[in-house]
Amino acid sequence: MARYKPVDLHLSKPLPVKFSEQILPGTFEYAVNWLVDHEIDLTVFDARYCNDESGALAYHPGVLLKVVLLGYARGITSSRGIARACRENVVFMALSGDSAPHFTTIAGFVSKLPGEITSVFRDVLLVCDEQGLIGKELFAVDGCKLPSNASRTWSGTRADLARKAEKMERAIAHMLDTHRRQDAGQNVDALTQREQQQIETLSRNSRKIREWLSVSPEKTNRRGEPLKSNITDNDSATMKTSHGMVQGYTGVAAVDAKSQVVVQASAYGTGQENALLPHVLKDLRQDFKAIGRKDPLKAATVLTDSGYHSEATLQQLSDAKIDALVADTGFRSRDPRFADAYKHKPEDRQRQPGERRSQWFQPKDFAFDAAAKTCRCPAGKVLKLSSANAIIKGRRSMSFEGSQTICGSCPLRSQCIRKPGVSTYRQVMFFDGTKAKDSHPQTTAMKARIDSREGRLTYSRRLGIVEPVFGNLHTHGLRRFTLRTRRKVDAQWKLFALVHNVQKLTGKAP
């Protein structure tokens, strides 16, 4: 019979550990340790401490910055997780000098970073530039939507939140009324205890909503229409992602093409990116100016996807003399290389020539008489002429619309209106093929430029420049923000970008 050496897991063995030997050259922790000790100006943190003559000694900000960056690099974003690693992981012990900061100290340090993290980000950016990692010839800008420490349950317009509070108050009144009418002997004590807990929870939530409504103004868009607010973090926004709806922020990154270094990182509480590009490029210029470098946009080209496209944005770029290629939503459809793209779709998704694009009625299903300026819907009803000379994206059209009377009880309503529960009547437009005066000259010029051979060749590099950055952060588990308010989330997004840039300095980032 085979014999084996005994294994006793209850044995203990004291091991001598020299912390300086645990930080090995070429690793992320070595780069962080060297940067913090030699390249980052830590005096920006001194103003937050007032213990020159009295008070307890503070943890060195360099130590806290090191363990936070190492924690983020290993996917540990909670202060409790980083504090536990400082007690149990030898690399964290080495970086912190075995000081084992409490999780409240780490949490307080991260939440108060907004004023100093920009300086730290710029110091690392300067090192990247000195190492020749920034080419300053081609930049790609894109963003990713990440959830934050805010619940979507507490989102809504002021009217939505008021209705929610009223619903809670009605539920409280109903439970109290039901309780008063209970017969004796039906386990009243246990039922009362459960109801009392529910009433306290509903009362607390209703009071929270009412107090917030009393002091918070309505959020509106540029047209004055109400937007959803959030009680827990009103800077955040409800955004649509590939994983569903989330309550969070859009983290925008400007990435240099040479080595994929993030040269600017900012977080915004909006899911709409079409107005963000000028702000990102303005901050990019300020960052390079702060590190003593020339304006990088004078001789560089900026690439963005269609999410940043708008006539106003293109006009601002033109006024600022910034060379940019900003795709529009029809960019792919005009590309001859994608002319037969439908052939590569799964069989169940192919649309054959002549097949309907949609299950709903299209303009061709309506009886339109251009000379008489009349239109009959598929149900035979005459629609009202709302505009005989409507301009839609530079094209002339004749617009017709139904009414609540016509469309409200129509048997074909479900086939005609995409959202019967939202839209009250159908609108339909007929284009005559003519174009009005170009009301979007910048968009027209951008389309011509990006459709050129040189434009398509340059723009095709965008995906390979910026998307690997988000993939790298995702691989490290940096998939959500743990803070609230835009200032704090913006600082955390810069810390995420710092993790990527430090990896670039070590030569081990993808």
**For 80-119, what is each residue's pLDDT tens digit?**
999 999 999 999 999 998 899 999 999 989 988 877 899 9
Please give the pLDDT value at position 454.
92
Q: How many CB atoms lie within 10 A of CB 213?
A: 16
d(CA 328, CA 307): 8
Angle between helices 28-38 and 486-506 (to 10 degrees): 110
pLDDT tens digits along 109-160: 998 887 789 999 999 999 999 999 999 999 999 999 999 998 888 888 888 8
pLDDT of residue 510: 66
Residue type at 63 in one-letter notation = V
CB burial class (10 A; 0-12, 13-18, 19+) of residue 279? middle
Identify the burial level of 266 via C-beta atoms within 10 angstroms of its C-beta, where 0-12 means exposed, 13-18 middle and 19 or more buried. Answer: buried
pTM: 0.81
CB–CB of 129/241 below 8 Å?
no
d(CA 470, CA 407): 47
Q: Which portions of the chain are predicted below pLDDT 50? A: 348-349, 351, 355-356
pLDDT attached to residue 193: 75
- Evaluate whether 251 touches 267 at the Cβ level (below 8 Å): yes
Give the H/E segment covering residue 248: strand 244-256
The 10 Å Cβ neighbour count of residue 380 is 8
CA angle 233, 239, 241 (to 5 degrees): 135
In degrees, rounded to 5, the angle at the alpha carbon of residue 489 between the alpha carbons of residues 484 and 491 is 135
Write down the pLDDT at residue 191: 54
The pLDDT, as a whole number, for residue 343 is 60
b vs e for 420-443, b when ≥16 Cβ sit within 10 Å of the residue's Cβ? eeeeebbebbbeeeeeeeeebebb
Q: What pLDDT, on a 0 to 100 scale, did the predictor assign at position 433?
A: 76
